[in-house]
Chain A
Amino acid sequence: MSFVEYKDLIKDGDTAIVFLGHGSMFPVRVQAGGQTQTKYGVIRHSADLIGKRFGAKVTCSKGGWVYILHPTPELWTMNLPHRTQILYSTDISLITMMLELKPGSVVCESGTGSGSLSHALLRTIAPTGHLYTVEFHQQRAEKAMEEFRAHKVDHLVTVRNQDVCKNGFGVTHAADAVFLDIPSPWEAVGHANAALRVEGGRLCSFSPCIEQVQRTCRALEEHGFTEVHTLEILLQAYNVRTVNLPLPDLGKGATADAADAPSDVAADSGPPPPGMAQFKSGVPLKEMVGHTGYLTFATKSLF
């Protein structure tokens, strides 16, 4: 397994995702002789995981079972140990596309944080690109590097433990894109400009507050960036439900029969209970994420 390449079989040392069902899952480091407890009982790595296929159903000691999944940046984002607030896949998707990332891209990122975005960036720029990520918190920087090694992507990434606002990214005129997720991105815009190629490139800054966005936009214009756009993306998820609504009794009594009822019944969900009309609906979740942050994009151009 690697975060940048699919493998069929689970091996010792792999990171795998244990899927318990209903969106509930957790990551596991596969180790010969290792054991993992789940609510369905214990998983013995040597017997139950190693040599099995990713996507296989694994029966636990109490008879229940789980699925073992190949790691992807998206699954990792949902399961990683948080050391900071992280970026989720909805924002990451837009960042990746609007920064025009692809295999071979050279990207600068700060801060590294918990590495949620980093893994997605590495996935996209592999096998020929490179990520320069800057994290001023020493422990977080070390932890990130450890994870990159465990996930076999360390050859694609350089982690620097320094303050991006003071010391920049440690590269000049090398990057196709720069991403900033720091409290005062406007202080790093000059460094971002220096890190981007002479011919130009793209920049994105993520900030939760509009005041941060305003200062960043002003700094971007002062440094000659163009195409400054601020976006916000929200994810609306739906539960798929079969809903039965009771039909009102309008006093038709015996003359009314089933033919009068709306008959738009999904054949697969069985007949509706008597006096009920049935339909499928995509019901919005009770609560949804209303705001993560504003994404400000800009272009550095040649002139």
Chain B
Amino acid sequence: MSTRRGVGLGAFTNRNATAQSYAAHGSNLKSANAASLQAQLEVFQSLLHNFALEHAATIKSNPTFRAEFARMCNAIGVDPLAGSNIKGKKADSLWAKVLGHDVNDFYFSVAVRVVELCQATRAENGGLIGLKECCESVAKGKAIGGGLQVSEDDIERAVKSLEPLGSGFVILTIANKRFIRSVPKEFNTDQSTVLEVLQLLGSVTVSLLQVNLGWERARAETAVQDLLADSLVWVDYQCPEPEYWSPQGLLDESD
């Protein structure tokens, strides 16, 4: 009995000591790794800073250059837009730190214009806008001053910057063309198919869908009527059979 108790106490003491040793060692490893990582990040930021300073004017004025710079940041896991416009905090984004607030404000200005445009045109296009059309319209807007060019990539980045707000704005692709969808309602398979055909042909009829897709009349009719009800197509009755048209491209009149 006394022998067993002694062994127990001894084992306990040994385990404790061992655990402490392991913890200390692990802590040392973490510190060493963290220090190394921090050093690497600092080197990276320093190099990025120098690069950005050297090419600041180009980044501001050239959409392609700006996009490539952003891609480089993203490849390394740095979000150029994160940390901006947080009230009461000085957590400037990488963009803001490196280039001042010009480029950062640029993206938020673009985002505001996109939101305004989507709201203003929702009744005519059902909340679906081509990225190209959106880009052209935003570029014409007065909110973006200084003659800055706006590219589709800029629009896409601006839309993604809205995600933290739960905006419901998403980028989707239809027939190899990029769109902004600002209405939180998904398309079913048939609707998507009709939208794809519309991108290729501009307009469709029920007969055309029956012949080319092998659909029954009721199925084709349902698909186009659903799109019509959601303002995603307009209808022309002044022809042998009603023609359903995509309203993309009417944006020039909303300004």
**A and B are partners in one complex rather than unrelated chains:** no
Q: Please report B residues at the A interface, Cβ cutoff 8 Å.
A: none
